[in-house]
Structure 1
Amino acid sequence: MGNIKYRFLVALLLIVINQLQAKELFVSPIGNDSHSGTKENPFATFSRVLLEVKKFAGKEAVTVWFHEGSYYLDKTILLDSEYSGTSLNPVMFAALPGANVTIKGSKHLEYLNWKAYKNGIYVTQLPSGTNFDQLFINGERQVRARFPNYDYQNPLRGGNGYDLVADGTDNRYDTWFSFNPKTFSSKDWKHPETGIVHAFQSHNWGNMQYRIIDINRDEHKIYLNEGGWQLQRRYGIGGKGEKASWFFIENIFEELDVPGEWFLDTTTSKLYYYPETGIKLSEAKVEVPVIKDLIQLKGTSKSPVKNIHFKGLNFTQSNYTFMETYEPVARGDWAIHRGGAVFMEGAENCSVEDCSFEYIGGNGVFMSGYNRDNAVRNSKFVHTGESAVCFVGSPDAVRFYQTWDDKEIHGKDWEEMRKNMDLKPGPKTDDYPKNCIVENSIMHDFGDVGKQVAGVYISMSHKITASHNSIYNCPRAGICINDGTWGGHIIEHNDIWETVRETGEHGPFNSWGRERQWKGSRGSDEEFIKKLTKLDAIDNVIIRNNKIANYRKSISAGNWTIDLDDGSSYFEIYNNLNLGSTIKLRDGMARKVYNNITVSAVPLGWHVWPKNSEDEIYRNIFVISGAIPGKTEGTKNFIRPVALPTETKWSTHYDQNLYWNINYPNDFLVTENLNMEAWQQEGYDLNAAIGNPNFVDPLNGNYQVKENSPALKLGFKNFPMGEFGHQMTRIVPFGGEFSEEIKVTLKADIRAGNGAKVYFTLDGSEPSVYALEYSKEIKLHHTTTLKAQTFDANGVPVGFKTEAIFNKVKTVSYPSWLSTLLTGKYEGEKAVSKAIEKEVFGASLINIADDPDLIDATGGYNFGCYIKSIDAGKGKIWLDAKLDRDWVIQQVNEDIIQNISDLEKCFQKYKGQKVVITGVRDYNSKTFEVKLP
């Protein structure tokens, strides 16, 4: 980390020095491409100035200055190695100081002749062949005609903007799904083939898009055409009742029925639009995207693009990519589209700085294949269709490459593929990102279209640093490491909250490590080959000094703060503040978890560790507080182990942890079956302590411990609480509810230097040097929208404006874990349903659909009966069939088993007979013959 920053600082200093003698070129929306490109006679377009850049690139420093305004691109700007700069003579594309410069992948539709159509809808004729997938009116993206109508109050899955399927094939690639005629649109669709289905996968790991072939109203079926490639794994559209897939359908003319919707008839080239109140179409600015990637830096490892920098530019209005090519990525669960508003491949020492990405159709910044020492910093990503920043290497760089699609879609045998596999360590080629960084950036409300997305996504990469980023309000991960190739990443000082909002079985930080050592996910010697682990995970991943929080009153399946899933190995996890959920370690090797704080009703998730895993858990503060959503009793135990080894100790260094269970301060359990005394008799935590850690001020986010804390005596060390997230203009706290009064602090952008000032407004207006100047703590007594901006000593804005909403309420309602922490005692929850557990012929069974932890731990199976344990005396029918704990019963003969009730009915139906039971566990299916009494 230090070396990377040092190189960047040296490079930046050299850039500044050389800019003093740089060749300067100027572009302005009111310029002319026949001009000379000087400040007095600027060019008009990006493409024109590139002709001049090529003349000087690499020979002298070149800076292209953009005057304020919008620049429309009709084709992608392609920069190859001929545009490269050098470390002494870089090429810079920058906004003039204080100028608002926007690069648009769209065109402005002018001179439109709007005419009234009917029912508030207007129509205009466009040139023949016009096609686009988004419509912007006065800079705001409109809604393509859809069913159900877009829910502005709750646009997330589960809101009124989605419907539930009645049934489906539940297999990619789906060919149909059925709808409920009572909730489905009753309108007659003359051309259903224009429609596109957006549907969540039945297991809720992401969503897919399909084009429609036809609709059968009699059978209540939608027949599907191409699509379904937007994620991995075999599961598709399906499920029933509350477990069914959520969906909506867009681009249907007859569904154009509310203000803000539009439809383009490509056969007649007519645009239909239902304007919202107050929009005058004769004066409205109408824009439509025409390209996918706005800028591409494309070179090779032998001839890379070097030393090109973008600074202070706003990128917007690019095409959606969800119907473009996607590829499954290793054996992580994701698929990705290799594209981005700024796309880099074969690039070195290039950067994106002080740039914003808004209303981008796909990914924000994408580094594909060979990339070295590139940086994204001080930037903002909001309303991107897919992920914010992606680092994805080439499969050709991986010595043994498998995907889930190989097995589940194409029917390949993973074991056959392993024969004669390459056993050399490390990457095979250099076609992967290395020593790249994303720092001091803001990422929120991304994943507008794709739901299997992340603020920072890392795959087949080495030594990537994600530092000081604020990531929130997203459908899936804040940060995701897709695979164990090749480690060395540093994840530090990030502030992550309100993630995994529309999906399940995931975490704000999530990782997989299903490389050459991983054959299955049971952690056994047969399925996890320890000696192969370091072939791919060649360097440790460090996760430190992050705050990862869940303030919602509900927690989706899993949603661990730090979720180390299948095979994730060689992680060092320390100085992290985990709030509202906790840490999960699934099968993997050598994870060190120390000096962390967890405060949650969710127990630690230790799942299917290998024997002698070398995991270490020490000097942490573990606090149990409140009840898990869906339960009425406060959590009692600190650990919920699933299928951990019984013949060896879980860890030889599990010690010096501080335990405090607010719900049960005196009679808590460490695991589900062991109190502290019994736990210590097993050889763990011999030097642990029990007691209140004495946090300084948890209500205001300070979880450092006081001088009298028993944690300090165990060796725990306080870590900073004010360095999480970006360090641009900040509002602390960042909005929220209050009852009487709330005190707000403003912090200036750390880059503004001496003489910097923060100006703010409380009336919704934009902050300027004429607004209120911040000098002391602000006290709010009413619902307020606060906006703030840092300005340097010359009055030039630095970084981005920030905005927070403070809502005054009669009583502030906190999630169970936080209210219990603040009051110091558990006061109970309202009665709700919980997972049903019942003994059947000596086997203790649980309805897995009602238990998120078990869904996560067993491989994502969301129906059936989980076998918790089998009584050696009463469970003969199970033991004789070699059916063991942790299997999930999903079928008896041909009967599907959703729950324990279904199983009992089947056992009554086949009483006294021999039946075939189908069980699933960890991505495997097996049959067992059981003789029923």
Structure 2
Amino acid sequence: MTALTLYVAVDGNDSWSGQANKPFATIERARDEIRKIKKPGNIPEGEIIVEIKGGTYYRDQAFILNNEDSGSEKSPIIYQASKGEEVRFVGGKHVKGFSKVTDKDVIDRLDPEVRDKIYQADLKAIGIEDFGNVNSGGIELFYNDKPMTLARYPNDGFIKIVGLVGGDPVDVRGTKGDKIGKFIYEGERPNRWVGEKDAWVHGYWFWDWSDQRHPIESIDTEKHIISVKPPYHGYGYRVGQWFYGLNILAELDIPGEWYLDRETGILYFMPPSPIENGQAIVSVQKTHVNMENVSYVTIKGITFEAVRGTAINIHGGNDNKIVNCTLRNIGSWAINISGGKNNGVIGCDIYEIGDGGISMSGGDRKKLEPAGHYAENNDIHNYGRWNRMYQSGISMSGVGIRANNNLIYDAPHIAIFFSGNDHIIEFNEIYNVCYESNDAGAIYAGRNWSMRGTEIRYNYFHHINGFEGKGCVGVYLDDMFCGTLIYGNIFYKVTMAAFIGGGRDCTIENNIFVDCVPSIHIDARAMNWASYHVATTMTDTLKEMPYQNELWSKRYPELVNILDDEPAAPKGNLVIRNISVGGKWDGIYNEARPYVTVKDNLVDQDPKFIKTPPESFQLSDDSPAYKLGFKPIPIEK
């Protein structure tokens, strides 16, 4: 039942009534009208709808909602796009007035083949003075609704480090490098970067999963040495690692690249199509929506784009929903939910995101009280566009958060990151993630004995192989992470599909592994190279929780006496009733094997799929796996 409908339109007027024929111009005006209606304390029963007519709304401020803007269970408030109409909230400015470059100094820096193809526009002339930082949170250019590339070399791929000259060696368990950011580059191309105003390099300097941007301090073209400005990368630098140069005017050489002179405010751009027929937008605003301690508010069917920070922030409150929205071309996260209860994201398209997709945190770990937040049926891809590592499609932190029926793909690093207790991760499809990293996981958690109770079930992982095909992990329980159930999942062409990195009390049960190398990995790292964590990080984080009180001891009885029960040993792990075909089955280390129970698995025998995978992973009724106790996986869900 609808109690009240207010209308907003691009051609509306905030002095009008907000009725269908007299719409408001802004959602702020509609919000304020609802406040007036609610003030007597007689909020009408039924839905209160703010219907936003189709069009592009250039936003010059965030939409702020606080406790007084809450609905109720019987009177929810819904801000929604008109049915069948496209509503776009744009946090940037439309850039017009492009002209060909005529400045000789600029032209001389450009490749001769593209000099007549570069256009320029003055951003200061349209009122933009704050350009942000090259490293993070700065201005971006979008053209015809797609993010453009800050001028770089190589245009695709990386340059290799071929030597180190810092003079401060570092050795991490036999992996050697140097602490100082001074290295020898391959090839001649960086010689062109000498004289650039603000050239940077972005690289994976020591490990394949840890990146950082540096401004360039100097380039020695004779010795092929690049020196970067401190602070240096925390792990150091290593021969064979890779980087590229960026924010370099001289490398503006293919369609879709841009460069901004932050001193003059001049934007240089090589458009991928005729500039007179396209639309260029630069991001200006930090965020679109901030909801603070709001409850029973739904935002539905709106496209949010072109902000430098996180598009939608929900802090506190309960029973709020973001439904069927599109979030694209965002500088940081698409949606951040922190605190509160039962807030959710449903059916959203999330792509071309600078950092991650949906971040959810909440609940009380000491009391094991669940947050109840959820991400359901979302399409999340091409995230980690700017900050490449540890920016996940979905992040879950706290207690009792759910991620289900999401499609997550095409990303340089993690699909789902979780920490905390008692989460549910189910019915998701994940593929082509971790493509720019190694020693990484599609689903990842690590280094805590007390974070337990999460169930990873009925997910489909496929084609996850890491950078240059060197290998990545499907479910990665890193550095002694414990107490996780991996049940009923399908892994197809995933390297190191189910990985227990020295943890305890984990179960790998009723999964199907096809062409995985290996299907399972279990090691005993806390008994050897990672032993220093046992008395420090692992014990410290354990003691932060009341793990021996009545509540915790009933929920996690294995924890009560862990410090007196060979805490470094990977005890209590079960590998039971799985199917493994092709690839390699067993990656259990010898030190771990005595502590692991492995039984009733169907390995390298024909399980009798009804069709050859990946066409189908369903088993025929006479599959020998059923005789071992294997249960059907609800693939249709």
- Whole-Å separation in 1 of the counterparts to 2:221 and 2:34: 60
Q: 1:211 to 1:367 in 2, by over 3 A?
A: farther
Is 2:326 aligned against 1:381? no
> For 1:311-710, what aligned pairs fall within 5 Å after superposition?
311-319=300-308, 340-368=310-338, 370-392=339-361, 425-426=366-367, 434-452=371-389, 453-459=391-397, 461-481=398-418, 483=419, 485=420, 487-512=421-446, 514-515=447-448, 533=449, 536-537=450-451, 540-550=453-463, 556=469, 558-581=471-494, 582-603=497-518, 604-608=520-524, 610-611=568-569, 613-623=571-581, 625-626=582-583, 635=584, 638-642=585-589, 644-645=591-592, 649-651=594-596, 653-660=597-604, 691-710=605-624
- Whole-Å separation in 1 of the counterparts to 2:633 and 2:186: 57
In the TM superposition, what is the alpha-carbon distance from 1:115 to its structure 2 partner?
A: 4.2
- Whole-Å separation in 1 of the counterparts to 2:471 and 2:367: 31
- Whole-Å separation in 1 of the counterparts to 2:243 and 2:31: 44
> For 1:84-163, what aligned pairs fall within 5 Å after superposition?
84-110=70-96, 112=97, 114-117=99-102, 118=107, 119-120=115-116, 121-127=118-124, 130-132=129-131, 133-148=139-154, 150-151=155-156, 159=157, 162-163=158-159
In the superposition, the TM-score normalised over structure 2's length comes to 0.80
In the TM superposition, what is the alpha-carbon distance from 1:66 to its structure 2 partner?
A: 1.1
Aligned residue in 2 for 1:290: 284
In the TM superposition, what is the alpha-carbon distance from 1:214 to its structure 2 partner?
A: 4.2
In the TM superposition, what is the alpha-carbon distance from 1:570 to its structure 2 partner?
A: 1.5
Secondary structure of the structure 2 residue equivalent to 1:390: strand
- Whole-Å separation in 2 of the counterparts to 1:101 and 1:227: 43
In the TM superposition, what is the alpha-carbon distance from 1:130 to its structure 2 partner?
A: 2.9
Aligned residue in 2 for 1:741: none
* Kept in 1: contact 2:423–2:454 (CA 8 A): yes
In the superposition, the TM-score normalised over structure 1's length comes to 0.56
Is 2:199 aligned against 1:252? no
Q: 1:165 to 1:612 in 2, by over 3 A?
A: closer
Please give the per-residue CA displacement for 1:733-790, whole angstroms capped at 9, x wherever unaligned: xxxxxxxxxxxxxxxxxxxxxxxxxxxxxxxxxxxxxxxxxxxxxxxxxxxxxxxxxx
Letter in 1 for 2:314: M
- Whole-Å separation in 1 of the counterparts to 2:289 and 2:576: 47
In the TM superposition, what is the alpha-carbon distance from 1:657 to its structure 2 partner?
A: 1.6
Range with greater deviation from structure 2 (547-556 or 371-380): 547-556
In the TM superposition, what is the alpha-carbon distance from 1:216 to its structure 2 partner?
A: 4.3
In the TM superposition, what is the alpha-carbon distance from 1:225 to its structure 2 partner?
A: 4.1
Q: 1:450 to 1:373 in 2, by over 3 A?
A: same
* Kept in 2: contact 1:540–1:571 (CA 8 A): yes
Aligned residue in 2 for 1:195: 199
Q: 1:48 to 1:616 in 2, by over 3 A?
A: same
Letter in 2 for 1:94: Q
Is 2:56 aligned against 1:70? yes
* Kept in 1: contact 2:311–2:333 (CA 8 A): yes
In the TM superposition, what is the alpha-carbon distance from 1:365 to its structure 2 partner?
A: 1.0
Identity of aligned residues (%): 26
- Whole-Å separation in 1 of the counterparts to 2:342 and 2:316: 11
In the TM superposition, what is the alpha-carbon distance from 1:292 to its structure 2 partner?
A: 2.4
- Whole-Å separation in 1 of the counterparts to 2:221 and 2:570: 59
**Higher-RCO chain (CA-CA 8 Å, sequence separation at least 6):** 2
Please give the per-residue CA displacement for 1:645-697, whole angstroms capped at 9, x wherever unaligned: 47xx323x53222121xxxxxxxxxxxxxxxxxxxxxxxxxxxxxx3211111
* Kept in 1: contact 2:305–2:329 (CA 8 A): yes
- Whole-Å separation in 2 of the counterparts to 1:181 and 1:294: 43
Letter in 2 for 1:32: N
- Whole-Å separation in 1 of the counterparts to 2:443 and 2:377: 17
Aligned residue in 1 for 2:565: none
Structure 2 unmatched ranges of 5 or more: 108-114, 132-138, 171-176, 526-567
In the TM superposition, what is the alpha-carbon distance from 1:490 to its structure 2 partner?
A: 0.6
> For 1:870-889, what aligned pairs fall within 5 Å after superposition?
none
- Whole-Å separation in 1 of the counterparts to 2:231 and 2:141: 23
Picking from 8, 13, 28, the partner of 1:32 is: 13
- Whole-Å separation in 2 of the counterparts to 1:173 and 1:64: 59
Aligned residue in 2 for 1:330: none
Secondary structure of the structure 1 residue equivalent to 2:119: strand
Letter in 1 for 2:59: L
In the TM superposition, what is the alpha-carbon distance from 1:227 to its structure 2 partner?
A: 6.8
- Whole-Å separation in 2 of the counterparts to 1:198 and 1:549: 29
Picking from 265, 281, 298, the partner of 1:309 is: 298
- Whole-Å separation in 1 of the counterparts to 2:255 and 2:218: 27
Q: 1:54 to 1:108 in 2, by over 3 A?
A: farther
Aligned residue in 2 for 1:798: none
* Kept in 2: contact 1:568–1:587 (CA 8 A): yes
Structure 1 unmatched ranges of 5 or more: 1-16, 152-158, 299-303, 322-339, 399-424, 516-532, 627-634, 661-690, 724-933
Range with greater deviation from structure 2 (340-349 or 554-563): 554-563
Secondary structure of the structure 2 residue equivalent to 1:434: coil
Secondary structure of the structure 2 residue equivalent to 1:640: strand
Letter in 2 for 1:270: I
Q: 1:707 to 1:393 in 2, by over 3 A?
A: closer
Q: 1:697 to 1:553 in 2, by over 3 A?
A: farther
* Kept in 1: contact 2:258–2:268 (CA 8 A): yes
Aligned residue in 2 for 1:879: none
In the TM superposition, what is the alpha-carbon distance from 1:466 to its structure 2 partner?
A: 0.7
- Whichever of the two has the greater Rg, that structure is 1
Secondary structure of the structure 2 residue equivalent to 1:107: strand
Q: 1:498 to 1:167 in 2, by over 3 A?
A: same
In the TM superposition, what is the alpha-carbon distance from 1:476 to its structure 2 partner?
A: 1.2
* Kept in 2: contact 1:382–1:444 (CA 8 A): yes
Letter in 1 for 2:351: V
Secondary structure of the structure 1 residue equivalent to 2:35: helix
Picking from 33, 36, 53, the partner of 1:55 is: 36
Secondary structure of the structure 2 residue equivalent to 1:82: helix
Picking from 24, 46, 58, the partner of 2:27 is: 46
Q: 1:385 to 1:612 in 2, by over 3 A?
A: closer
Is 2:238 aligned against 1:239? yes
Aligned residue in 2 for 1:866: none
Q: 1:645 to 1:545 in 2, by over 3 A?
A: closer
Secondary structure of the structure 2 residue equivalent to 1:186: helix
- Whole-Å separation in 2 of the counterparts to 1:224 and 1:84: 50
Letter in 2 for 1:47: E
Please give the per-residue CA displacement for 1:838-864, whole angstroms capped at 9, x wherever unaligned: xxxxxxxxxxxxxxxxxxxxxxxxxxx
Please give the per-residue CA displacement for 1:506-546, whole angstroms capped at 9, x wherever unaligned: 2212221x23xxxxxxxxxxxxxxxxx4xx33x51111111
* Kept in 1: contact 2:181–2:232 (CA 8 A): no
Letter in 1 for 2:612: P
Range with greater deviation from structure 2 (176-185 or 445-454): 176-185
* Kept in 2: contact 1:478–1:499 (CA 8 A): yes
- Whole-Å separation in 2 of the counterparts to 1:43 and 1:614: 62
- Whole-Å separation in 2 of the counterparts to 1:597 and 1:373: 33
Secondary structure of the structure 2 residue equivalent to 1:347: coil
Secondary structure of the structure 2 residue equivalent to 1:44: coil
In the TM superposition, what is the alpha-carbon distance from 1:341 to its structure 2 partner?
A: 1.1
